[in-house]
């Protein structure tokens, strides 16, 4: 099968499990210029599992090429499918080059795609040193809100045990310091998330960061991170 044939079959499977209700909900929750079919996460993961078995004999490079093509499709779920397929196939994930990692994230335009890409692909590779600090800093300086959010959310795999993180206070706070004054809502929420995740492995560093930058931090960040530090939850 060619990649074009595989993608056509994948889209047909996605359409079979899509619903108008989910489509309407998704369009309201994370608007995108991509066409949203309306597929629930469990159904998408089931497709990932099925096709991981069907394509078991694909080499890492074949897998990567398929996912690159999926990530640039005009259907939202194809983009998400690309990231999930790579996360499922660790050999292919590990084989990604920095150029390919960047290419996979070239069409991000909503928080779901951005966070999936950042936690499963870019952030994982930053932790493994495939993706450079220089690239993270380039994203931080971008006028594109989604690339700035990508840079911040990339800190999550550094510190979240569920994603294999063991803690990286230095690089996490380096990123957080760069977006303290960013007032884009998507970046503000990402900053809060990054600090809350770091607090699990280095509470003292987060407390000191909050104290040092309190006056400059957005109210949402102050409220959510303080609540996390005092109650262990995002909201009291």
pLDDT, tens digit, for every residue of 115-166? 999 999 999 999 999 999 999 999 999 999 999 999 999 999 999 887 787 8
Are residues 54 and 115 located together in one domain of the fold? no
Helix (H/G/I), strand (E/B), else coil: 35: strand
Whether the per-residue pLDDT at 233 is higher than 80: the answer is no
State pTM to two decimals.
Answer: 0.95
Are residues 91 and 24 located together in one domain of the fold? yes
Are residues 176 and 67 located together in one domain of the fold? no
Are residues 210 and 105 located together in one domain of the fold? yes
Query: What's the pLDDT at 104?
Result: 97
Are residues 120 and 233 located together in one domain of the fold? yes
Query: Measured between alpha carbons, how far is 219 from 188 in angstroms, rounded to an integer?
Result: 9
Identify the domain containing residue 227 by its residue range.
99-236
Query: Measured between alpha carbons, how far is 83 from 90 in angstroms, rounded to an integer?
Result: 11
Phi/psi of residue 75, each to 5°? -100, 130
Are residues 28 and 74 located together in one domain of the fold? yes
Query: What's the pLDDT at 133?
Result: 97
pLDDT in tens, 43-69: 999 999 999 999 999 999 999 999 999
Are residues 191 and 113 located together in one domain of the fold? yes
Whose tokens are 């640039």? That residue is 72
- The mean pLDDT of 181-208, rounded to a whole number, is 97
Tokens representing 77?
């779920």
Single residue among 47, 70, 95 that ends a domain in this structure = 95
Single residue among 54, 76, 95 that ends a domain in this structure = 95
pLDDT in tens, 27-42: 999 999 999 999 999 9
Whether the per-residue pLDDT at 77 is higher than 90: the answer is yes
**What CATH number corresponds to the domain at position 202?**
1.25.10.90
Confidence of residue 235 (pLDDT cuts 50, 70, 90): low
Are residues 215 and 111 located together in one domain of the fold? yes
| Structural domains counted in the chain | 2
Are residues 84 and 175 located together in one domain of the fold? no
Are residues 21 and 73 located together in one domain of the fold? yes
Single residue among 36, 60, 95 that ends a domain in this structure = 95
Query: Measured between alpha carbons, how far is 233 from 24 in angstroms, rounded to an integer?
Result: 30
Whose tokens are 């991170």? That residue is 225
Are residues 170 and 225 located together in one domain of the fold? yes
How many of the other CB atoms lie within 10 Å of CB of 8? 11
Are residues 72 and 129 located together in one domain of the fold? no
């Amino acid at each position: 099968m060619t990649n074009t044939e595989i993608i056509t079959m994948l889209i047909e499977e996605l359409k079979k499990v899509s619903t108008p209700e989910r489509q309407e909900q998704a369009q309201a929750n994370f608007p995108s210029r991509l066409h949203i079919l309306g597929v629930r996460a469990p159904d998408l993961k089931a497709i990932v599992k099925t096709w991981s078995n069907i394509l078991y004999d694909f080499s890492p490079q074949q897998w990567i090429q398929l996912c690159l093509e999926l990530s640039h499709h005009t259907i939202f779920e194809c983009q998400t499918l690309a990231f999930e397929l790579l996360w499922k196939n660790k050999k292919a994930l590990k084989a990604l080059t920095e150029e390919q990692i960047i290419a996979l994230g070239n069409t991000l335009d909503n928080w779901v795609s951005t966070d999936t890409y950042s936690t499963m692909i870019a952030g994982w590779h930053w932790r493994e040193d495939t993706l450079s600090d220089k690239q993270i800093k380039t994203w931080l300086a971008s006028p594109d809100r989604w690339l700035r959010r990508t840079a911040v959310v990339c800190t999550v795999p550094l510190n979240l045990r569920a994603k294999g993180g063991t803690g990286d206070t230095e690089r996490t706070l380096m990123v957080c310091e760069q977006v303290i004054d960013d007032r884009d809502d998507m970046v503000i929420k990402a900053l809060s998330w990054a600090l809350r995740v770091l607090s699990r492995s280095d509470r003292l560093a987060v407390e000191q960061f909050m104290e040092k930058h309190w006056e400059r931090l957005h109210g949402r960040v102050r409220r959510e991170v303080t609540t996390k530090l005092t109650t262990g939850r995002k909201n009291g």
